[in-house]
Structure 1
Amino acid sequence: MIVEDVIIYVSYFLEKLWRRQVINAVIMVHNSSDPKHLNCYTWDPYTEGHCGNQFKYPTVVGECLNEQIQSEKGLFSSKIPDQLSRCPVLIQTCIIEPYVIKKEEIVDENNASLEGIEVLLLDIIAQKLNFTAVYRVSEKYNTLAYTLNELASLRADISIGAIPPDNEKHEIFDFTVTYLDESVTWCVPSSEETPRWKNFIFSFSYQSWSLIVFSYMSCSILTWFLSRNDLLESLNYRNLGRIFLWNYSILLNIAIPKQPLRVTARYIIYAYILFCFIASVTFQTFLMSVLTEPIFEKQISNFDELISTDLNFGIMESHRRFYEADPKYKNILQKAIICDDIRSCLHNVSFYKNIAVAVPRLYMDYIGNRYINSKGRHLIYAFKSDIVSYPIEMLMKKGFSLLEDFNQIILKLKETGLLSKWQNDYLSETYSIEEMNEPEDESVTKGLSLEEIQIAFLALFIGIFVAVLVFILEHCWKRSCVIPVF
């Protein structure tokens, strides 16, 4: 009975020590038959099919007699074998592509089927150390904060999900060597296509339009001035309104019925015809390029342009400390929205165009090609410059016994370039997605859409409006000029 009580107490203390990450411990207990004789108890957590969860059977590894410790195998033999006999290691994940990716719809959150760069890394480590990687996810709380809370509560052994180094985290958890480099960049809505009517009007610069109007007005007035007192000249050239109409016809490449008789006026008209011909050819050439290749508004491409817009700002909670360290992000941090669901925020960027989101660049490179419109153009633009760069590491519960083994394997994989290869492999998959979403063959003949010829209707409606307005003014003028008969 006394022996059984000793075993219970020894098992209890060994379990408490194990829960506090004290792996190799020896408990010395007085022998019930000889008070001067101490038995040395310990346990082997990974023997006989156990996986660190069986504490009921401690073993005697030595004894202390006459102040001398005697042990055949030594008191502190290694408790962690090279092969873990397929024992499970619980891995809490934060899904962020391409580091951690869902293979299929998750049925069991405590044993999810995943893939990704970090999952591949852990699978190779698990194969090398002969343990079973059990991936846990939470679709409802897919945040780094929740993932680390699970690790801190000892409900998981390892945490992954593009985790940046942090001194506060290092005080609470063990951490591996870094194995990938990541950066954060701003993602903003892609610029809108310029309306076709605006392309038509702004096919020339303001200076060019001003020159055309000046040439038209000056040639018309000068021709009229030279011809107004010449009785042999046609009445059409002595009438300023008619000259304006004819010169407008020349500007539109429409022939006029008669040339002026006066030599100086004729030279002016000839020079004006040559000018209009060159301007018309230039305009039509540019117009063809506008109809075939759309022009876009100026793209927001740097931070200074971003803060001058009325866009909202979205950041990830795990990146908050990056902005706190930089004074220029102080105002942004005060009104920033925390993006717990990155895809939802990117959806607002691409379709509602009301927010700019800061996300990991590799994540954007991987998922960005899914945000493409029917014309094959990206809906999201990622800045070329980075907000910050940081390495990625894996976090473990404090005192994790396999840390050194993990680091050795990670360093070997990093030196061989496998991690970089996996990264490129996943990014190449996104290009195939982009190819599947390519627009139809442009060689197929298509009719002009209303959008492409809207400028013609706009000109027609403006002309009709002006004509009606002039008609009303003329009618009112004639009525006011009629002399009443008594």
Structure 2
Amino acid sequence: MGSLTHLAAALLFGLLIVKPSAVMQRLSATVAAEVDIFGNMEAIQASTVMNLLAEQYTPQCLRAVIMPEEDASSNKLTQYFLVHAKDFVEAERLLLDQRLRKEQYIVAIIPQKNQNSSYWRVIIRQLLHPSGSPKVLSVNKWSSVTGLANTNDIFPDQMADFCGIKLVGSGLYYRPYVDYEVVEGSRVVVPKPSIDINTLDAVAYKLNFTYDIVMPADGEWGVLKDDGHWTGIMGDVEFGRANFSLGLVMMQERANSLDPTMMYFMEALTFITAKSPPRAPWQNLITPFQLKVWVCVVVSVCGGVLNYHVFYHIQATISTSRLLESHAFMRILASFLSQSLYGYLWHAAGRVYLGFWFLYAFLVTTHYKTSLTSNLAVPFIPPPLDTLQQLLGSNLKYGLDENKGSRHQLFSTSRLLLYHRMWRNMQFYSDDNSMRMVVEGTYSYINYRSFLMIQMLRHNSNPKRKTDLHVATEEFFPTGSVWFLPKGAPYMKNFNAVMWRCVEDGLINKWLYDLYAVYVKEYEDQMSSQEQQDTAIETDTRLVVFTLNHLQGAFFLFSLGHGCGLLLLSLELLLAPHTSST
């Protein structure tokens, strides 16, 4: 870039004594030949802004268009302007014109004479000045005899040093990207360590500026309105209320209105739900077998009672007493409880039947007891939801945050059938309300993975153990995090250079891991001493000790038996007088 810059300067100053048409002709041929090294370049006509300026000024304007080496891969062109003004007043008025505020490389030259010779005075402007407003500076002299008087750069990088001025960034609270403390009664917030704030600190240090972070007045990320303008953070940058945004993701609709920086962090959307709770303890009595198995067992018991009664009845016709149906039931049931029978059948058919019945009862009870034991020791937990299809087919409600942003834009405008179906039932709540409903097990919150991981840490009752919340494994709408700057912002290149160093040096990932540790520590500090003690006791427990909760089903069964017994006793007492009278 330096060689081309000096080439342009030398050509322009060396040809000032030539007629303007010859200057432009020779300049175009020489510069085009030099730029062929970097690729093809088409002839570029005078810019619109210079045409507008021509209505009020009458300087001779020579323009060179150069492709710097560092921008060759992105095929971006940088414009260099040299303006011939008649006096300092005209040069100052031109250089400070607001319509040129986004042009970095513009120089004015003024003819000067003294007693012995004539020369050209070189005037540049400093866009960023400690006073807060642009200033015009005289940096060099040129004559046909001595050339340039010094080696000062006449096309300096205007954005390399912001001279301590204050910029304004617009952002919303969104851990781990943007974190701050709200100041009551003010949109200006107090920033706290987070990915975007740490990156901004590095950019501000390198480029020498300070900053304020403000919340958008409408509290929104930004959606495109029907009139083509934006709300929220995007609107703050679009209408000049902020110099840059924080915590936004790349979307083509946004890039059409504002200029995005490089992507410094890649991420995708997913959703968070409460893990399915274990089944009620009393259900452990019936869950070892499926419903079909229970039906088969009940039918087999009924058949066993009938067969046992028949066999005993046949035997009774020969030599023994008869067997009541209730006794037959109790004896068959006893075989499932490893109880011996009295009053065995003595003929061969009955003994063969009982032998196979005992074997059947042994196998059924063994399977039941082993399954029951495992259920009591390790309760069964239904698998969590991991895909949008599973979420759509569940009975959970789902939704997005109420601050309209990229997620709102995706589901509301997407033509994908799944997104369209979900949008019809989408709900919108604040982060706190959304997570409260997630913890209650009635809601699923859709957001970016890193943000949901922070929310999971925040709502986890014990950060040292497995959380009761689950972040789905499926990811969708992958995108990158960027900052948005006004269209044509001259400091875009400088911001990108520092941000790229942060990414290249691995600082973004390091900050993310460090922030996770900070958030865990922060939540632990919020726990009371008794909660921490209970956590330590639970964490050190290595043996599974059965509690009343584990044996809930047994006590329910015990109560059910007593209830049935009392009911039958009451019926017998009611029917006893009638039976005796008959």
Scaled to the shorter chain, the TM-score interval is 0.7 to 0.9
**What secondary structure is seen at the aligned counterpart in 2 of 1:391?**
strand
Offset of 1:164 from its aligned partner? Answer: 1.7
Residues 174-193 of structure 1, C-alpha deviation per residue, up to 9 Å, x if partnerless? 22111211100122332122
Structure 1 CA distance for aligned equivalents of residues 500 and 157 of structure 2: 24
Structure 2 CA distance for aligned equivalents of residues 462 and 42 of structure 1: 96
User: Hey, what does 1:360 align to over in structure 2?
Assistant: 448
Structure 1 CA distance for aligned equivalents of residues 472 and 300 of structure 2: 44
User: Hey, what does 1:158 align to over in structure 2?
Assistant: 244
Equivalent position to 1:138, from 183, 190, 215 = 215
Structure 2 CA distance for aligned equivalents of residues 151 and 79 of structure 1: 23
Offset of 1:447 from its aligned partner? Answer: 6.6
Bigger mean CA deviation after superposition, 393-402 or 370-379:
370-379
**What secondary structure is seen at the aligned counterpart in 2 of 1:443?**
coil
Bigger mean CA deviation after superposition, 431-440 or 89-98:
431-440
Structure 2 CA distance for aligned equivalents of residues 139 and 269 of structure 1: 82
In 1, are the aligned partners of 2:269 and 2:447 still within 8 Å (CA)? Answer: yes
Bigger mean CA deviation after superposition, 212-221 or 435-444:
435-444
**What secondary structure is seen at the aligned counterpart in 1 of 2:315?**
coil
2:82 is the alignment partner of 1:82: no
Instruction: Specify whether residues 384 and 234 from structure 1 end up closer, same or farther in structure 2 by C-alpha distance, changes over 3 A only.
Output: farther
**Which residue identity does 2:175 align to in structure 1?**
E
Instruction: Specify whether residues 378 and 137 from structure 1 end up closer, same or farther in structure 2 by C-alpha distance, changes over 3 A only.
Output: farther
Structure 1 CA distance for aligned equivalents of residues 111 and 428 of structure 2: 59
Residues 258-282 of structure 1, C-alpha deviation per residue, up to 9 Å, x if partnerless? 4332333233323323333333333
Instruction: Specify whether residues 17 and 192 from structure 1 end up closer, same or farther in structure 2 by C-alpha distance, changes over 3 A only.
Output: same
- Once the two structures are superposed, the pairs formed by residues 178-217 of structure 1 within 5 Å of their partners are 178-217=263-302
In 2, are the aligned partners of 1:186 and 1:387 still within 8 Å (CA)? Answer: no
Bigger relative contact order (CA 8 A; separation at least 6) = 1
Equivalent position to 2:304, from 187, 203, 219 = 219
- Once the two structures are superposed, the pairs formed by residues 143-292 of structure 1 within 5 Å of their partners are 143-145=220-222, 146-161=232-247, 163-231=248-316, 234-235=320-321, 238-292=323-377
Offset of 1:196 from its aligned partner? Answer: 0.9
Instruction: Specify whether residues 220 and 172 from structure 1 end up closer, same or farther in structure 2 by C-alpha distance, changes over 3 A only.
Output: same
2:572 is the alignment partner of 1:467: no
- Once the two structures are superposed, the pairs formed by residues 339-350 of structure 1 within 5 Å of their partners are 339=429, 341-350=430-439
Structure 1 CA distance for aligned equivalents of residues 192 and 516 of structure 2: 17
Q: Which runs of 5+ in 2 are unaligned?
A: 1-87, 113-119, 223-231, 525-531
Structure 2 CA distance for aligned equivalents of residues 469 and 41 of structure 1: 108
Q: Which runs of 5+ in 1 are unaligned?
A: 1-5, 32-37, 65-69
Residues 21-69 of structure 1, C-alpha deviation per residue, up to 9 Å, x if partnerless? 45556789999xxxxxx9997642444x33xx235x64567999xxxxx
**Which residue identity does 2:126 align to in structure 1?**
D
2:200 is the alignment partner of 1:126: no
Structure 2 CA distance for aligned equivalents of residues 76 and 215 of structure 1: 101
Normalised TM-score (structure 2): 0.67
User: Hey, what does 1:419 align to over in structure 2?
Assistant: 508
Structure 1 CA distance for aligned equivalents of residues 218 and 569 of structure 2: 70
Offset of 1:377 from its aligned partner? Answer: 4.8
Structure 1 CA distance for aligned equivalents of residues 554 and 493 of structure 2: 74
User: Hey, what does 1:101 align to over in structure 2?
Assistant: 179
Equivalent position to 1:390, from 475, 479, 504 = 479
Equivalent position to 1:44, from 111, 114, 126 = 126
- Once the two structures are superposed, the pairs formed by residues 20-39 of structure 1 within 5 Å of their partners are 21-23=102-104
**Which residue identity does 1:156 align to in structure 2?**
A
Instruction: Specify whether residues 273 and 149 from structure 1 end up closer, same or farther in structure 2 by C-alpha distance, changes over 3 A only.
Output: same
Equivalent position to 1:293, from 359, 368, 378 = 378
Instruction: Specify whether residues 85 and 184 from structure 1 end up closer, same or farther in structure 2 by C-alpha distance, changes over 3 A only.
Output: same
2:54 is the alignment partner of 1:54: no
In 2, are the aligned partners of 1:216 and 1:247 still within 8 Å (CA)? Answer: yes
**How many residues matched?**
458
Bigger mean CA deviation after superposition, 279-288 or 72-81:
72-81
Instruction: Specify whether residues 13 and 127 from structure 1 end up closer, same or farther in structure 2 by C-alpha distance, changes over 3 A only.
Output: closer
In 1, are the aligned partners of 2:285 and 2:553 still within 8 Å (CA)? Answer: yes
Structure 1 CA distance for aligned equivalents of residues 544 and 217 of structure 2: 49
Residues 267-316 of structure 1, C-alpha deviation per residue, up to 9 Å, x if partnerless? 33233233333333332232222222222245333323322334333124
In 1, are the aligned partners of 2:172 and 2:216 still within 8 Å (CA)? Answer: no
Normalised TM-score (structure 1): 0.79
